[in-house]
Structure 1
């Protein structure tokens, strides 16, 4: 059985693992597409106005925004299941589960990240902010991931 989980807006900032690479994600063969999406995200952040960044991040405070203006490709990471901290993740309470349950969740839970597309619970992600439904200029990230990841996801779920 596979478990499908949504991401959360709130995240844990304490990332200590190596930056992302092709081994960080499920569907290694699709890594270049993730990097393409990150490139659009990074370029947008570099060139966007404060107003556009407020919309992208869903935050008004300029000091808060500055925490998210870094190169995600070079940032430390942690397992997706530990990165997200919203209500669903609080109720899951992954840390207190027995080792067998944790292993099952790490291997069989898919999380639909707004920025990274579909990831497995044990995939490593950097601390980031990307409000659901936010736009990266003219780049439609949902359409991009649907176009490039649907086949691999369908085959994985069969």
Structure 2
């Protein structure tokens, strides 16, 4: 099972430690694309703070994020699973999983990123600010920029098992499963049961809880149909069925009344 996650907008500080080693990151086929984005982002933020803040869509109160980006090559790096914070990652609670579940997380989770393309939770990265919605002056819109490199590496990363796609729309734009991979892919919406509407907090928190539940239970669904069974066994209310056409991903709805 491969689980595709969005990053968090806010991130924990880099803190002390050895700086980024680009060669140590997972998916080495993305190395060239990562180097290009990193170089432009660092140079932009080091050269013109106001322009960088405009490009990155940052408010005056987040001006310090520009300076942080300018120091990405020398800032301390830490596991991505510690860098990403926010509602989904709080609910996932990587640090509080037992040893076996943490090992599963290292193998199963892949976090998409405007800067890195995608990283595993144990890849060591510095804290940064660069969403997939950013349009860099040289490389252009990052969602479009990453499509080519991702198309090269993701089919192999997906393997021959289930792909559970929990990304938000901006990050899903960087890679869309096709063909046989799409048929093994399930996307998930979380709906507030009384209103049957997507509510941001319910959506993010429940996705984090779903991943935690699967990892903690040692569940290993090999297909979207097996995922539906596994989630129902874990107590989730799931609606969805196989798509009507070949080469299409499954679309599942998880209904929740409240977040505990």
Q: Which TM-score band applies after superposition, normalised by the shorter structure?
A: 0.7 to 0.9
**Structure 2 Cα separation of the partners of residues 62 and 4 of structure 1:** 28
Name the counterpart of 2:59: 59
Name the counterpart of 1:128: 128
Number of paired residues? 158
CA contact (8 A) 2:41 2:69 kept: no
CA contact (8 A) 1:54 1:65 kept: no
Q: Which structure 2 segments of 5+ residues have no match?
A: 160-260
**Larger CA deviation: 91-100 vs 70-79:** 70-79
**Structure 2 Cα separation of the partners of residues 131 and 138 of structure 1:** 16
Name the counterpart of 2:113: 113
Equivalence map 1:27-106=2 (5 Å): 27-56=27-56, 58-61=58-61, 64-65=64-65, 67-106=67-106
1:155 matched to 2:156? The reply is yes
**Larger CA deviation: 147-156 vs 64-73:** 64-73
Task: State the secondary structure of the residue aligned to 1:68.
Answer: helix
RMSD: 2.1
Task: State the secondary structure of the residue aligned to 1:119.
Answer: strand
- State the 1:9 CA deviation: 0.5
CA contact (8 A) 1:57 1:129 kept: no
CA contact (8 A) 2:30 2:150 kept: yes
1:8 matched to 2:1? The reply is no
Q: Given the two structures, how large is their TM-score scaled by the length of structure 2?
A: 0.55
Greater per-residue strand proportion:
2
1:98-132 CA distance string (max 9 Å, x none): 01111110222000012111111111110111144
Structure with the larger RCO, 1 or 2 (CA within 8 Å, 6+ apart): 1
**Structure 2 Cα separation of the partners of residues 152 and 63 of structure 1:** 34
**Structure 1 Cα separation of the partners of residues 23 and 17 of structure 2:** 13
Over 3 Å counting, the alpha-carbon distance change for 1:50 and 1:22 in structure 2 is: closer
CA contact (8 A) 1:57 1:130 kept: no
**Larger CA deviation: 31-40 vs 135-144:** 135-144
Segments of 4+ in structure 1 off by > 6 A? Answer: none
**Structure 1 Cα separation of the partners of residues 131 and 27 of structure 2:** 24
Task: State the secondary structure of the residue aligned to 2:105.
Answer: helix
Over 3 Å counting, the alpha-carbon distance change for 1:66 and 1:33 in structure 2 is: closer
Name the counterpart of 2:143: 142
**Structure 1 Cα separation of the partners of residues 5 and 107 of structure 2:** 13
